[in-house]
Chain A
Amino acid sequence: MEPILEVKKLRKSYLSKGKPVEAVKGIDLEIRRGEIFGFLGPNGAGKTTTLRMLSSLLVPDGGEARIAGYDLLRQPEKVRTRIGYVSQTGGSDRMATARENLYLQARLYGMAGKSARERTAAMIMAFDLDEIADRKVVTYSGGQHRRLDVALGMVHKPELLFLDEPTTGLDPQNRSRLWKEVWRLRDEGVTVFLTTHYMDEADMLSDRVAIMDRGEIVAEGTPSGLKKRIEEDTIILGLEKNGAVTEQAKQFLTGLPFVREAVQNRDKLLLMVRDGETRLPQILRLLDQHQIGLKTITLSQPTLDDVFMKETGHALHDAEKDLNR
């Protein structure tokens, strides 16, 4: 089946303080129908610029994009009827009610009075807005506001929905509620393309992710597939306070074939281990044999943070700091 979105060599630069900045450096992307695609990267990586180009808000400097069977550059009107776009700020009219916002949106997508009213009522039910539908948006809580924003993006039943940082600024409860909303949309057959700078969110929410850094896509795949590329797990041993014993433990553990690296920090010992889960019992037995007392033990498997670190050579949070400098 033809992918719902296919992008080749898409690029965009703009002037910042008189100097050209390459925000998006010729990226390729492919999104399959019905998947949730997470676009991950630090602030300023070029995610929003990419999203704006794909939703026809911004004209690319070069490259091609086909969305829902139409050429983005040659037939933007056709593309617009088939995509929904929810920006970071949402874009609802705060001095109007949810019902008025949804009704106008339905009319703007060409629905006549009666069908626009019906669709508005259906969206109010689907996004659980019925209690507040006739109140001005300015009185809404963050979570209610966001639900309306997503509802506005869905009024015309788009095949592909773009969500730019949909959970930024939401509390954990509303965040997980929005995740459920996104899963529900996927179950209804909508393809969702969302950006986020939260690693755990990309991991939990998406079927596939692309990691973007400094205008380039540095990794792409399923979250578990990407994490498998990081071969080592981390085991942290908290030992009884005894310098000599810790040193001894470090020496014999480093000698084991499956331990790639061991780092000692006071009474803590950090091991980089392949297949950590299966090696853990073995390590415990060995420590017992050497009569080394163990206080705590932690096994951590790779996260998308590690993937980002491996692909870019710097941590996600460092990347954000770089940009703020």
Chain B
Amino acid sequence: MSEIVKTVSRIFAPLIIVFGIYITLHGHLTPGGGFAGGIIVAGAIILLVLAFGGEKERLIQERRTTSRLESSGILLFWLVGSLGLLIGGIFFLNFLGKGIPFTIFSSGIIPICNIAIAAEVGGAISTILLALVLFER
């Protein structure tokens, strides 16, 4: 890619990632949440891969990492749901303290679920993109 594209993506990619993390962490307070935040972070990764490319071996390594990230995210989500079953006897019970509404540490397990969903969605979208980049017959 040209120097303009590389420079612009170098400046904007970190900002996009920070914005994605913000959307994820404030999922229980503002519009958005884990899914939107994960997509935004994956968008930054797509931007970087398209602008800078990379060696094939390195991209395969990256895909393995994002794939693991995806699996761990969904496993974390499962764990949150099952802990409710273990602690309170009900699947997806909100077993943490609810806190004061409209503050960042509130609403029990919802922020944790949002983080898990962000890891899952971001990992999945990046894995799909890397698989398409690496695809050959």
A binds B: no
